[in-house]
């Protein structure tokens, strides 16, 4: 198995983040620093991150990291960035969910000014499946928009697909819940996708919040508050991302946020 993929499966980080850990020289194999995430490893290799072993017992680290995976739901406030660390010292989603002894990572991204539901976990495989476009896990947003009452023609364009600079979007679920407020469900994960779609149909977004991710809804979780998901909720997430929608295997790669 490739080193980057193994780190993700061990729950250290998403595949993209795991590859960066390797590039940054933080991963060793059998006592030697490795900077190639494509390096093959086997069960006989001692893989460590920052000098600590990974889950899985002898050969794959000796269990210094917790072996029970956790998933948290967080209602992200505006001004908080969706990263584990920030070089500009802005508050991060990870800082809002203290979990001793674990390395939590956000599942996908929300823009700094976007609020709402974001997941944090130490389960790299689940994070990959929830965010990779091939699994088509739905994400639902509530958008307050400018431009007056949203017309049926604008809603139809959202539902049929909107031509953006990076191509035609897939059909989205779109309904008007107030004259200037929309509920939009997408199955892709392009950068700032919902904002760009709304602007393209003549209704720039004033305020955006994610209210659902797959089968999980934000419900009454307060702004800035978090809670650990139950085993049943985690299982529902796994089922929602059980296999790619096109029946193929998803390969790791760049996974942009909405």
User: Which residues does the annotation mark as catalytic?
Assistant: 111
Question: Which distant-in-sequence residues (6+ apart) come within 8 Å of 122 by Cβ?
Answer: 11, 12, 65, 66, 69, 70, 102, 103, 104, 105
Using the 8-state DSSP alphabet, how is residue 81 labeled?
Answer: B
Among residues 192, 95, 240, which one has the least CA distance to residue 106?
A: 95
CA distance 241 to 13: 18
Question: Which distant-in-sequence residues (6+ apart) come within 8 Å of 124 by Cβ?
Answer: 7, 8, 9, 10, 11, 12, 13, 14, 15, 18, 105
Question: Which distant-in-sequence residues (6+ apart) come within 8 Å of 107 by Cβ?
Answer: 14, 118, 119, 120, 121, 126, 127, 130, 131, 213
CA distance 224 to 200: 31
């Amino acid at each position: 198995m490739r080193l980057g993929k193994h780190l993700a499966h061990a729950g250290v980080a998403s595949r993209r983040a795991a590859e960066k850990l390797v590039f940054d020289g933080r991963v060793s194999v059998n006592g030697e620093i490795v900077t190639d995430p494509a390096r093959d490893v086997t069960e006989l290799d001692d893989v460590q991150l920052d000098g600590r072993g990974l889950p899985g017992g002898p050969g794959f680290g000796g269990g210094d990291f917790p072996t029970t995976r956790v998933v948290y739901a967080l209602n992200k406030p505006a001004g908080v960035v969706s990263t584990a660390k920030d070089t500009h010292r802005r508050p991060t989603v990870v800082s809002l969910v203290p979990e001793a002894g674990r390395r939590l990572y956000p599942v996908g991204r929300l823009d700094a000014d976007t609020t709402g539901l974001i997941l944090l976990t130490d389960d790299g495989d689940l994070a990959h499946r929830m965010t990779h476009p091939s699994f088509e896990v739905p994400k639902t947003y509530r958008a307050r928009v400018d431009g007056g009452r949203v017309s049926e023609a604008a809603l139809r364009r959202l539902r049929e697909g909107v031509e953006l600079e990076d191509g035609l979007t897939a059909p989205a679920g779109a309904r008007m819940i107030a004259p200037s407020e929309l509920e939009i469900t997408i199955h892709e994960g392009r950068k700032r996708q919902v904002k760009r779609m709304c602007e393209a149909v003549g209704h720039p977004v004033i305020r955006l919040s994610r209210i659902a991710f797959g089968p999980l809804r934000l419900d009454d979780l307060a702004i800035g508050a978090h809670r650990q998901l139950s085993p049943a909720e985690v299982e529902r997430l796994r089922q929602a991302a059980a296999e790619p929608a096109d029946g193929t295997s998803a390969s790791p790669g760049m996974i942009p946020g909405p």
